[in-house]
Amino acid sequence: MRTIDSLDVKGRRVLVRADLNVPLDGETITDDGRIRASVPTIRTLLDSGAKVIVCAHLGRPKGSPTPKYSLAPVARRLSELLGEQVAFATDVVGESARATVAALQDGQVALLENLRFEPGEESKDDAVRGAFADKLAALAELYVGDGFGAVHRKHASVYDVPKRLPHAAGGLIVAEVEVLRKLTEDPARPYVVVLGGAKVSDKLGVIANLLSKVDRLLIGGGMAYTFLAAQGHEVGQSLLQEDQLDQVRGFLEEAKTRGVDLVLPVDVLAATEFGPDAPHEVVDATAIPADRQGLDIGPRTRELFASKLADARTVFWNGPMGVFEFDAFAGGTRAVAEALIASEAFTVVGGGDSAAAVRRLGLPEDGFSHISTGGGASLEYLEGKTLPGLAALEDS
């Protein structure tokens, strides 16, 4: 995979596919982590005299302009972080985009409107996607892929455009791939993976692949209740995917066969309802009352998980341990994060809600070896899947 050092960018129009898919409250960005992660590559290109055209998606507008998904707030924040004006095109490949790009001088940057306002971006039809890719590629002379959070998607800006222009990987993608290789190619042991989040079904592939690679697998969050139910325990009103019970029983058996220490919660915070102020109590994970739902791992589980992480040499964590958005149920996620910070292991936070939790809880980002910008992309890489965006960048 070529890096931007291999491109002669001075005076040339460079299309950068970034990942600027940030959470918004109205027009207020509530977590700018992905924008900050995109700045170094953009800064490098600007300092090299390129005319930088940034493209990205936000939310799921389903192929048509939707004001609440406009990238205008992102353009303002990117301007602040770069310390210079970011020109903003009010369309993706239309008149505004062409005029905005034409006006760029060397060392200046523009941001195109949300890629997903164009149906061709996500189309499953190769011809439709290709026609949009032609228009996007026509804006530039070179392409830099730097949106790691989107590389698992076969979208026009990720997969088709690099086939049409000389291309290279940006610094963010290079860093992400380097980290993931450390997790998949002879990781230092003990190798511990912590998985949480709502649904087992979201992580079936990664669990299946990791059982042959890890020493310990710690399961928390909503997905833990399907594992507990698979062992025959009552989980009350907790999140349960009954259609995954047989699959999970298979995982439990395989873990036992392979000698993998698969660790489940021993206690949980069981609440009367789903809400920030819901009355709750600590109960054994094997005896959740029928009218209660688990919303976080309990104090004994926090200690157990911390002890299982204490001697680790490599740790990958993806998914919160509870409903961290509610202060009353954020303690389990905080405990896992703090155990990773205290560890001497190579620690990777696998993007998505885990990265958001680190920032929401006010924890030091430099306390971890790496915080990924791509939750889904990280998981698919660890599943062993070919990621379309990486494959396109690897093509010469």
What pLDDT shows up at residue 396? 65
CA distances to 37, 74, 110, 146 from 88, rounded to whole Å, are 20, 10, 6, 19
pLDDT band at 392 (very low <50, low <70, confident <90, very high): very high
What pLDDT shows up at residue 88? 98
Catalytic position from the list 13, 34, 51, 154: 34
Distance, CA of 382 to CA of 359 (rounded, Å): 24
Highest mean pLDDT among 21-30, 94-103, 179-188, 382-391: 94-103
- 385 as an active site residue: the answer is no
| Residue labelled with tokens 């949980």 | 268
| 242-263 average pLDDT score | 96
- Residues with Cβ within 8 Å of 373's Cβ and at least 6 positions away in sequence, in order, are 19, 33, 34, 37, 148, 149, 172, 176, 351, 355
The pTM of this model reads 0.89
What pLDDT shows up at residue 279? 95
Model confidence at 332: pLDDT above 90 = yes
Catalytic position from the list 171, 236, 352, 389: 352
Residue 322 DSSP one-character state = S
Residue with the larger pLDDT of the pair 72 and 353: 72
- 98 as an active site residue: the answer is no
- 275 as an active site residue: the answer is no
The angle formed by the CA atoms of residues 376, 19 and 137, to the nearest 5 degrees, is 115
Model confidence at 198: pLDDT above 90 = no
- 308 as an active site residue: the answer is no
Residue 66 DSSP one-character state = -
Catalytic position from the list 98, 164, 199, 213: 199
Q: Which residues are annotated as a binding site?
A: 19-21, 34, 57-60, 116, 153, 203, 294, 325, 351-354
Distance, CA of 143 to CA of 165 (rounded, Å): 6
